[in-house]
């Protein structure tokens, strides 16, 4: 399917880390696309909560609006899409383990980098702008790459991994804060580099510089590479080939423990 063979209007529901990319596609596609963004960090919630929030957004789409399909700006993402159902409209989503695939342009490109560079934390404008606690307007604040948008509501919060060291000192005292940090550890301790993917849709120098400073503070490496919009473009414009799952009305999304990752089940 693509915009040349009958599709006219799409509804996009996706994570806000794709904000700039999805807006660009909506602005440049021949199709009309209405966009809805859900707050970053749904994957930090219990799986059933993520599933329920995405299903609620799908169920709220009015069939009378004349959409041909709902396209999802999500991947498998901690199995939060598993069990999500199409109602009166088809659902379209990429076969991908997580949203970083969107920015690499394909599963193969992401997998190649992932295998060659373990211990990498991935960044884009969305991941920089949409993280809780830091924005370009407040660069003096502590880096918040590790602080999920849902904070204490999420899994990271229940593990006690969302507070900064200074916050723990203020809350528990220095001795207890030192003990908690030593016991829980920095959840990012298994990382050793940032990869910043430049998508080319806005000035990104400030984001890259922030990543460079954070990498230096942590003793990490920084890799900066060009991202690839092709997978996001196909989501909006087609073709919906084997890189995508198309769930027919009444069907649901299921997980596959193979290269297909996700599948549609009637």
Model confidence over 14-39: pLDDT tens digits? 999 999 999 999 999 999 999 999 99
Asked if residue 199 and residue 87 are part of one domain, the reply reads: no
Asked if residue 77 and residue 57 are part of one domain, the reply reads: yes
Asked if residue 141 and residue 80 are part of one domain, the reply reads: no
Does the pLDDT value for residue 100 go beyond 50? Answer: yes
Which pLDDT score, from 0 to 100, does residue 62 have?
A: 96
Residue 11 CA to residue 76 CA, distance in Å, equals: 19
Asked if residue 209 and residue 115 are part of one domain, the reply reads: yes
Please indicate, yes or no, if residue 3 is contained in any of the structural domains. no
Which pLDDT score, from 0 to 100, does residue 41 have?
A: 83
Asked if residue 111 and residue 223 are part of one domain, the reply reads: yes
Please indicate, yes or no, if residue 165 is contained in any of the structural domains. yes
Higher local confidence (pLDDT), 186 or 195: 195
Residue 21 CA to residue 233 CA, distance in Å, equals: 9
CA 100 to chain centroid: 7
Q: Mean per-residue pLDDT for 159-184? A: 67
- Give the pLDDT band of residue 133 (cuts 50, 70, 90): very low
Residue 84 CA to residue 55 CA, distance in Å, equals: 6
Number of domains in the chain: 3
Asked if residue 255 and residue 154 are part of one domain, the reply reads: no
Asked if residue 202 and residue 157 are part of one domain, the reply reads: no
Which pLDDT score, from 0 to 100, does residue 248 have?
A: 98
Q: Mean per-residue pLDDT for 164-191? A: 70
Please indicate, yes or no, if residue 1 is contained in any of the structural domains. no
Residue 6 CA to residue 102 CA, distance in Å, equals: 25
Please indicate, yes or no, if residue 193 is contained in any of the structural domains. yes
Does the pLDDT value for residue 244 go beyond 60? Answer: yes
- The residue segments making up the domain with residue 33 are 9-98+229-265
Does the pLDDT value for residue 156 go beyond 50? Answer: no
Domain C-terminal end among 186, 207, 237:
186
Higher local confidence (pLDDT), 223 or 181: 223
Which pLDDT score, from 0 to 100, does residue 183 have?
A: 61
Asked if residue 90 and residue 16 are part of one domain, the reply reads: yes
Asked if residue 198 and residue 129 are part of one domain, the reply reads: yes
Does the pLDDT value for residue 202 go beyond 90? Answer: yes
Asked if residue 241 and residue 135 are part of one domain, the reply reads: no
Asked if residue 130 and residue 216 are part of one domain, the reply reads: yes
Which pLDDT score, from 0 to 100, does residue 1 have?
A: 47
Domain C-terminal end among 186, 214, 244:
186
Please indicate, yes or no, if residue 84 is contained in any of the structural domains. yes
Which pLDDT score, from 0 to 100, does residue 136 have?
A: 37
Q: Mean per-residue pLDDT for 72-77? A: 94
Which pLDDT score, from 0 to 100, does residue 78 have?
A: 86
In degrees, to the nearest 5, what angle opens at C-alpha 126 toward C-alphas 198 and 118? 65
Query: Among all chains, which residue has been given the structure tokens 């502590």?
Result: 142
| Average pLDDT of the chain to the nearest whole number | 85
Asked if residue 111 and residue 23 are part of one domain, the reply reads: no
Residue 121 CA to residue 117 CA, distance in Å, equals: 10
Q: Which of 74-78, 171-175, 221-225 has the lowest mean pLDDT?
A: 171-175
Does the pLDDT value for residue 153 go beyond 70? Answer: no
Please indicate, yes or no, if residue 179 is contained in any of the structural domains. yes
Which pLDDT score, from 0 to 100, does residue 255 have?
A: 96
Residue 143 CA to residue 23 CA, distance in Å, equals: 26
Which pLDDT score, from 0 to 100, does residue 6 have?
A: 65
């Amino acid at each position: 399917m693509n915009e040349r063979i009958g599709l006219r209007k799409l509804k996009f529901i996706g994570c806000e880390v794709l904000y700039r990319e999805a807006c660009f596609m909506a602005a440049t596609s021949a199709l009309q696309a209405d966009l809805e963004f859900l707050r970053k960090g749904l994957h930090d919630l219990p799986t059933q909560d993520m599933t329920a929030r995405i299903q609620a957004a799908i169920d709220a789409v009015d069939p009378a609006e004349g959409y041909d399909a709902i396209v999802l700006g999500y991947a498998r993402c901690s199995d939060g899409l598993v069990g999500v159902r199409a109602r009166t409209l088809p659902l379209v989503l990429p076969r991908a383990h997580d949203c970083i695939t969107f920015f690499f342009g394909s599963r193969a490109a992401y997998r190649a980098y992932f295998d060659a560079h373990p211990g990498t934390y991935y960044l884009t404008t969305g991941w920089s702008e949409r993280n809780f606690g830091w924005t370009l307007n407040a660069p003096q604040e502590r880096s918040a790459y590790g602080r999920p948008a849902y904070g204490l509501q999420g899994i990271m919060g229940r593990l006690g991994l969302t507070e900064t060291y200074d916050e723990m000192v203020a809350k528990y005292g220095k001795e207890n804060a030192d003990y908690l940090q030593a016991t829980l550890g920095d959840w990012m301790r298994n990382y050793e580099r940032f990869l910043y993917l430049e998508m080319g849709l806005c000035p990104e120098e400030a984001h890259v510089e922030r990543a460079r400073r954070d990498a230096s503070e942590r003793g990490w490496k920084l890799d900066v590479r060009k991202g690839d919009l092709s997978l996001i473009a196909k989501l909006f414009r087609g073709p919906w080939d084997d890189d995508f799952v198309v769930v027919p009305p009444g069907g649901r999304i299921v997980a596959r423990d193979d290269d297909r990752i996700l599948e549609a089940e009637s």
